[in-house]
Structure 1
């Protein structure tokens, strides 16, 4: 692979130019090589690999400090495998909890939509059933909002 421009790396990772420059500035990547004549950044294969990993972590809501730990552990390899596992497992549990909250929100929205659909159709029996579903999900919804 030849050296990539910042625009090419943006397209391949989904990270914006300002984010790429910020990640270099704070030491998550780099330093990035520069073109001798223009001074523009030129990203190598290792840079792209690291940025693709960071883009995935960012998309999952992983913060900068955990990204920093992840990158340091990647460099250490097997000796940091346990810490890497724990870091990723912690975020997996966080995402599982978020999915559970979102499932409650989904059930609530579907029940409310069914209620309004029944009202729109003038179907009192369906409206009462949908109202019961809304009432049943309210305690879980209140817990999911907090």
Structure 2
């Protein structure tokens, strides 16, 4: 069994040491074994696997409650497969909506930069066309911001 320090696990997972302590405090990981003499945390291979899974979920914007559910379902294995699938699909749908929003933002930024490019060149016709494109995007941008 590997005995990793909190610093090692932080470096490997990308989660900060305070986050690791918090995840232990709220029951997402652990309890983590302690070194008998120093009382410092010592993470094993299973702990590292759990932390890395949580780091992935966190990077995708999954909240603590859904992380708890994910962990509980993970422990239940096949019996919780459907619930696990539904939880992950729900977050996949959320990420898809975020991507759609980002595409609208990107389209707006491109159109707006084209407007300013035309303005810099003194091309009034192209500036007017770019302005029409920008104005056509604005309602979708406003909807995406809601």
Q: Distance in 2 between matches of 1:135 and 1:18?
A: 46
For structure 1, the 5+ residue unaligned runs are none
Correspondence 1:15-94 to 2 at 5 A: 15-94=15-94
Is the deviation greater in 11-20 or in 122-131? 122-131
Instruction: Measure, in 1, the Cα distance between the counterparts of 2:93 and 2:126.
Output: 37
Structure 1 match to 2:115: 115
The alignment of Structure 1 onto Structure 2 pairs a total of residues equal to 146
Using structure 1 for the length normalisation, give the TM-score. 0.97
Provide TM-score, normalisation by structure 2.
0.97
Structure 2 residue runs without a partner (length 5+): none
- Cα RMSD, aligned residues only: 0.8
Partners of 2:37 and 2:122 in 1: how far apart? 73
Whole-Å separation in 1 of the counterparts to 2:145 and 2:32: 43
Cα offset for 1:126? 1.7
